[in-house]
Structure 1
């Protein structure tokens, strides 16, 4: 009877454990990602133990909520490797997201499993082993031909799409990758919660690596005194929330909980928003300067500050977005140009003008701009729109409404002077 009771207790405990959902991981706790790729829109996807993190911040969700067919194949516990296929010579496969799970390969287009999948890895990529650690696409001319680089332990395989040839490589300066990632035409090897940037042809690692992934690929609050927080914000891949510049040419940018000030002499200062703008605390939606004051928009409210050694909230603020700008909040970005008394408000792909001299302000002159923006600013050289990790410069305001897309620039390199 005692043995039977003990068996029942053990059985109940196992059943309870089986029924209990797995703990939802926190990307800011230094977890190791199983696989990293981007979706069709270039948004990073980070996979860990059956969970998926989309973008650079936000909570995890079950991977099978986005890639539902994974449920049918009982591979919910992990993803070995993933990449977005870059093969323009074969448009029916180009931009598919490819998963490797144990011995099988899954090909998705717009989050739907392609017909005939899953298949064995050996069928689609002959010469590539099972149970991979990482994979990353390498289109030409970044590689000699459109290729995929596969990682398993210290073995590196270059797979040529055109010839199906497999070339073994030695990447002696790199650690073993647990996931790999092509982002903004650069290549990153993740190992643990660190990463190294590498040359896809030679595996050479240049610069001071490894670096902490949470500093550059995740929008986490301060978590380590060892982190260089100025470099972190200078080189982060997480998009800016807001940006503006004052009449002196100093640039102010906001990202998550951080306030970044780049002075005319290129000196960069990084402080917590709650220290500099205590009423706002974090997560600014938009920023603009008008006359000598700095305006920050968060949710449904506008905060106006007198800029100085101590940024002082002006009397009567915060005000509602509707009261101050004549439009329902929230908004995406806003900017003003020196020669005008208007503030230009961007909401989605629409832009409005607000006459700041009017006693009763209204958002007028609605028109469509080229694309939505995360942040925007205006200066003597024209208008800058920031979208994701890139920015676009327009010499005049009128060019925002044209169809000619200007040259794309990298925020980290060209706005903040990061070296990678």
Structure 2
């Protein structure tokens, strides 16, 4: 007997229909939310600025630790290379949901030893100033600019600190369009001056005791008292203050590499006293006989390496160059010829996994001193197999960018500076860090 079709009671039918509709609605809403979230994520990704595209930075300063900070919109670039990160990750009060940030107008680090706010970092946004110490917002801030710096206008373009004797007194120089304000920190007196030979600054920066005015993605070095600009300026900021491969065509390779403030990746000198210094895609070579300097791409002279060397040392008329987990051995000659069988694993040649931070050999020794992290190792190059031994911690400098040994001692490069130690023992276990020297000026004769 055929079954009769089931006739649902009206209330049951209505309930099941509603359940089905709700499932469809929830699925649709979920899809829309996911699509919206993905779109937002994609938009955020595309909005992240790239310093190598020739950006006009909103503000530039150095942190309490001396690291350059470059600001653009909601983002912060730390140092001379690396990607942007969100500003509110480091200074959350500057960019909040209640007061979203468009851009920072100006920033500087107060750096007068006897000032109450020594090493405070100031940020200027509209008519407000924020003061940070050790990355924490000071009590009572933000405050009106007129309260903290009376006589200084709102909506500034740039600011830079100027200690004696660079300025006649300890001062802060503020820029707004064509107006220049010298604020005397001691008595809060303001002097108006005019810098006739310099374009309007979109940001300003004191670095290595020199003063730089940025206009767009170019900069000029200026006299802090007169504002005068000497030499061939403006210059491309990416050539000197950032590590970018797409350099401008207006700056020659030699000037850029000699005067760049970006740290070196590796450095060494050969038996003839020729110095080799590597940075990004380029290297500098200084002649040991007459101190002339030339620059070229790494790929031109060391074609198997292409770019970005981790460490290098010279031994028995060869350059041993490390990149990631590989070691390349080149004959010191013109052109530089890769030895047969190379590259080889760093582990096989030095007894350590790559990458290596720095390495050097002193004089006629047969020991390679290899730095990895904050430890140094010795490798006997005459022994077989090569084994990393005598591990010991570095006492004074915990992060080394490059190092070399010459007849005068050990030179250790950290950022834009190097330190000279009379012996490896003083470098490894010394009690006092020696005087800083500038890489660009003291090694390569640059004037800034």
Tell me whether the two structures share a fold, i.e. TM-score over 0.5.
yes
Match of 2:271 in 1: 247
- 2:425 is paired with a residue whose SS is helix
Match of 1:404 in 2: 432
Question: Whole-Å Cα distance in 2 between the matches of residues 373 and 355 of structure 1?
Answer: 22
Question: Whole-Å Cα distance in 1 between the matches of residues 447 and 144 of structure 2?
Answer: 41
Unaligned runs of 5+ in 2: 1-35
- 2:95 is paired with a residue whose SS is helix
1:64–1:76: 8 Å Cα contact kept in structure 2?
no
Instruction: Give per-residue Cα distances to partners, 1:208-240, cap 9 Å, x unaligned.
Output: 211111111111114333221110001000010
2:126–2:154: 8 Å Cα contact kept in structure 1?
yes
Match of 1:374 in 2: 401
Question: For 1:238, which of 242, 246, 262 is the aligned residue?
Answer: 262
Match of 2:447 in 1: 419
Q: TM-score, normalised by structure 2?
A: 0.86
CA shift, 1:368, in A, is 3.3
Match of 2:144 in 1: 120
Question: For 1:390, which of 394, 400, 417 is the aligned residue?
Answer: 417
Residues 1:353 and 2:373 aligned together = no
Question: Whole-Å Cα distance in 2 between the matches of residues 51 and 375 of structure 1?
Answer: 29
Residues 356 and 17 of structure 1: CA distance in aligned 2, closer, same or farther (over 3 Å): closer
Q: What is the 5 A alignment of 1:297-308? A: 297-308=322-333
Match of 1:60 in 2: 84
CA shift, 1:395, in A, is 2.4
CA shift, 1:354, in A, is 0.8
Question: Whole-Å Cα distance in 1 between the matches of residues 41 and 299 of structure 2?
Answer: 43
Question: Whole-Å Cα distance in 2 between the matches of residues 128 and 227 of structure 1?
Answer: 37
Unaligned runs of 5+ in 1: 1-12
Higher deviation after alignment, 66-75 or 42-51: 66-75
2:52–2:246: 8 Å Cα contact kept in structure 1?
no
Question: Whole-Å Cα distance in 2 between the matches of residues 150 and 189 of structure 1?
Answer: 11
Residues 1:133 and 2:157 aligned together = yes
Question: Whole-Å Cα distance in 2 between the matches of residues 292 and 322 of structure 1?
Answer: 22
Question: For 1:322, which of 347, 353, 377 is the aligned residue?
Answer: 347
Residues 1:35 and 2:59 aligned together = yes
CA shift, 1:108, in A, is 1.6
Question: Whole-Å Cα distance in 1 between the matches of residues 337 and 131 of structure 2?
Answer: 55
Question: Whole-Å Cα distance in 2 between the matches of residues 40 and 280 of structure 1?
Answer: 37
- 2:204 is paired with a residue whose SS is strand
- 1:190 is paired with a residue whose SS is strand
Q: TM-score, normalised by structure 1?
A: 0.92
Instruction: Give per-residue Cα distances to partners, 1:267-301, cap 9 Å, x unaligned.
Output: 22212112222222211111101111101111222
Q: What is the 5 A alignment of 1:153-232? A: 153-232=177-256
Which is higher, the Rg of structure 1 or of structure 2? 2
Instruction: Give per-residue Cα distances to partners, 1:30-74, cap 9 Å, x unaligned.
Output: 111110011122111111122211111112222122212223252
Question: Whole-Å Cα distance in 2 between the matches of residues 18 and 315 of structure 1?
Answer: 49
Question: Whole-Å Cα distance in 1 between the matches of residues 42 and 422 of structure 2?
Answer: 60
Question: Whole-Å Cα distance in 1 between the matches of residues 246 and 255 of structure 2?
Answer: 13
- 2:434 is paired with a residue whose SS is coil
Instruction: Give per-residue Cα distances to partners, 1:54-113, cap 9 Å, x unaligned.
Output: 11111222212221222325242211001111132235x221211101111111223222
Higher deviation after alignment, 56-65 or 149-158: 56-65
Higher deviation after alignment, 210-219 or 20-29: 20-29
CA shift, 1:20, in A, is 3.9
CA shift, 1:19, in A, is 9.8
Higher deviation after alignment, 234-243 or 255-264: 255-264
Question: Whole-Å Cα distance in 2 between the matches of residues 18 and 298 of structure 1?
Answer: 34
Match of 1:79 in 2: 104
Question: Whole-Å Cα distance in 2 between the matches of residues 74 and 104 of structure 1?
Answer: 12
